[in-house]
Amino acid sequence: ERRKSYAIYVIFLTGSMAAIRIPLSVLTARLLEEWAIRATLLLNQGRQATPQFSITMTIREQQRAGEWYAARGDSQMINELYQCEQACYEINQIPPSRRDERNERIRQLFGKAGSALNVNTPFHCDFGKNIEVGNYFFANFNLTILDENRVIFGHHVYIGPNCSFYTAIHPLDVERRNADIQKALPIHVGDNVWIGGNVTVLPGVRIGCGSTIGAGSVVTHDIPDGVLAAGNPARVIRKIEGGDK
């Protein structure tokens, strides 16, 4: 597992074989599938299979694909982090008497925002542009979103104070962690969801439409539609029935 690369063997129609070493970080199922498809097309055409495949992904592509990537390997991404940090600082200085201005600044920071956006400050995020919210999104004080990957909220989502949404994952292996290797998985929150105070949502989680997450929960796995879930780790307590008011 500590090896830095795998040897990929390419067999030509002539019977010769060559080995290409590529970094583990770019070796994905999607890439191997692409190679296989292209090689098959060449074979079907009766031509010598000269490999012409791209064997690299940009750091940004690795990040979005949920692959391990060098967190400090792209200077432009680092600059975007600093710019977002500055934007959050400026937004958090806007007084409550200028609420409309504050919400407009947050709208500009997000990748997408619907109508009736309301976020109480202080608020913190990493990139901002990876966050999408639907109509009637309300977040109380101290919302933190580490949006190294996409964080998508549906319509009519209510978030209590001191909630955190983390997409970033650091390796358990000390050597890789100290080398600033990480990956990020997206978070999806459906429509009509209420998330109580002090809730933490971890990478890759989906919360279904119409569900409620109890205060203090740590959501480590998907939550289905229309349920009350709570605890650490959060588990389904019961379905939300029509008689619940």
170 is catalytic: yes
- Residue 46 pLDDT class (50, 70, 90 cuts): low
pLDDT at residue 35 is higher than 90? no
- Note the pLDDT tens digit of each residue in 152-175: 999 999 999 999 999 999 999 999
Active-site residue among 155, 170, 188, 221?
A: 170
The DSSP bridge partners found for residue 139 are 119, 159
CA 4 to chain centre: 25
Residue indicated by tokens 């407009």: 104
Integer Cα distance of 85 and 82 in angstroms: 5
- Note the pLDDT tens digit of each residue in 97-121: 999 999 999 999 999 999 999 999 9
